[in-house]
Amino acid sequence: MHHSLLDKYMKGYQTFREKYVSGNTSLMSALSANGQRPTTMVIGCSDSRVDPSVILQCDPGELFVIRNVANIIPPFESNGGYHGTSAALEFGINYLNIKEMIILGHSQCGGIHALVSKQLNDQSDFIEKWVSIVNGDIDKENWSVDDYAKQALICSYQNCLTFPWISDRLKKNLLTIHQWYFDIHHGELFIYDEEKKLFRTFE
Ligand SMILES: [Zn+2]
């Protein structure tokens, strides 16, 4: 690793240590003693520009974060595959009892772009198949990549309902699922209004 990069990480690490580790009553030692009790689970994209903890300025222990290409929730499948996102969902919902879930989409998503442009076809080992999970409505005229990213959020939400322990908790009002969309250029969050069927500003 290049020295300047290592220096940057070292400085960041020192700041982290000062903020969360030093002293007798540090946040990290409390989280270690009491375990994690995150209130909110976020399913976000791996995109380096959309880190949920940075956007929402949350501390360690606050957000249970799942990140994958295009912040997709796959449908419930009981076959023998390796279901990383589903395993994380199960852990957050069934073991940590998280009651608030945010599916966080964003503008300029490379995964959604791959889905709609089909540029990666025949080249990708994993991406094409993964993003095809949300390809339900792929041929809308005049739709931008960002329009599809918003549509994909709704698809992921519907896939949530195929998990029996998620739909059960929704029916009992033990869980709320939010669909949020982050515009990178303006650094602005939008939340989906279930009743009005549109995204409105966060504030
Ligand atoms: Zn993305």
pLDDT tens per residue, range 69-117: 999 999 999 887 889 999 999 999 999 999 999 999 999 999 999 888 8
C-alpha 107 to ligand 1 mean position (Å): 7
Cβ atoms within 10 Å of 72's Cβ, excluding its own: 24
CA of residue 49 to ligand 1 center, whole Å? 9
Domain covering 37-201 assigned CATH 3.40.1050.10 in the classification: yes
75 CA distance to ligand 1 middle (Å)? 19
Alpha carbon distance 186, 181 (integer Å): 12
Average pLDDT along the chain = 93
Rounded to the nearest angstrom, the distance between the alpha carbon of 170 and the centre of ligand 1 is 26
Compute CA distances 59 → 1, 22, 62, 81, 145, whole Å: 27, 15, 6, 33, 32
pLDDT tens for residues 135-149?
766 667 788 999 999
Residue 95 has a pLDDT of 97
| pLDDT at site 138 | 63
- pLDDT score of 136: 67
What separation in Å is there between the alpha carbon of 182 and the centre of ligand 1? 10
| Residue 25 confidence (pLDDT) | 87
Domain with CATH 3.40.1050.10 in the chain: 37-201
Ligand 1 (ion): residues with CB under 5 Å are: 45, 47, 109, 111
Would you say the pTM of this structure is higher than 0.75?
yes
CA of 54 to the centre of ligand 1 (A): 16
